[in-house]
Amino acid sequence: MSAITGVILAGGQSRRMGGEDKGLLQFHGQPLYQHVLQRLKPQVDHLLISANRNLSQYQLSGVAVIGDTLPDFPGPLAGMLSALRATETDWAAFCACDTPFIPEDYVARLWQHKAQAPAVWVRSSQRDHPALALVHRRLADALEAYLQRGERRLMHFLQQEGGYAVDFTDDELAFSNINTPDDLARLGDRS
């Protein structure tokens, strides 16, 4: 495997969570993003956190924190663009801050199935998860142009650039994400 930078996407507005910073919500005694960090760290060579508020709290992790280069919270693609511009590795493995159960072989499985594609993402039995993706940094220019046209559809962009989904249907809980207070309570009880 080539060197890979792991990127935790924590830059959203968290509308369904009442505007609270999802990554900093307490889950089993620590901020939600810390669960993702602990699972992702052993799988990658470098780490970044993409965040747009509460930067000092994310910096307490000791991981470099970057913000969107585009204004007005344009979505996960903006965080991906900032990370692809900031990383020194050819590949970045993205993970949303609200997926605390990602598999311990998440990055390796994406790598094994990417073939020559510049991007691959997770498909669980219930849906695609394009924010859980392995992306080559050569897509940064195309991504910037896509965002400048006003586009925001993440999976559409990845498909347009020759990416595809990788089957992870064997472990649905691993890709459960926490979007609402009910999700936080439900998944807190199950883990």
90 labelled binding-site residue: no
11 labelled binding-site residue: yes
Q: How confident is the model at residue 17 (pLDDT cuts 50, 70, 90)?
A: very low
98 labelled binding-site residue: yes
Q: Which residues touch 159 (CB under 8 Å, ≥6 apart)?
A: none
Q: How confident is the model at residue 22 (pLDDT cuts 50, 70, 90)?
A: confident
Average pLDDT, the chain: 87
Closest CA to 126 of 91, 93, 172: 172
C-alpha triplet 73, 15, 64: angle, nearest 5°: 50
* High-pLDDT (> 70) share of the chain, %: 84
Average pLDDT over residues 138-155: 94
* High-pLDDT (> 90) share of the chain, %: 61
Average pLDDT over residues 117-139: 94
Q: What gap in Å lies between CA 34 and CA 32, rounded to an integer?
A: 5
Here the tokens at position 63 are: 């991981």
Q: What is the pLDDT of residue 174?
A: 76
- Give the pTM: 0.90
Q: How are beta strands 46-51 and 91-96 bridged, if at all?
A: unpaired
Residue 12 scores a pLDDT above 80: no
141 labelled binding-site residue: no
21 labelled binding-site residue: no
Lowest mean pLDDT among 2-11, 105-114, 125-134, 167-176: 167-176
DSSP per-residue letters across 63-120? SEEE--SSSS---HHHHHHHHHHH-SSSEEEEEETT-TT--TTHHHHHHHH-TT-SEE
Instruction: Give me the half-sphere count of Cα atoms (radius 13 Å) on the Cβ side of residue 85.
Output: 16
Express the helix, strand and coil content of the chain in percent, nearest 5 each: 40, 25, 40
41 labelled binding-site residue: no
Q: What is the pLDDT of residue 129?
A: 93
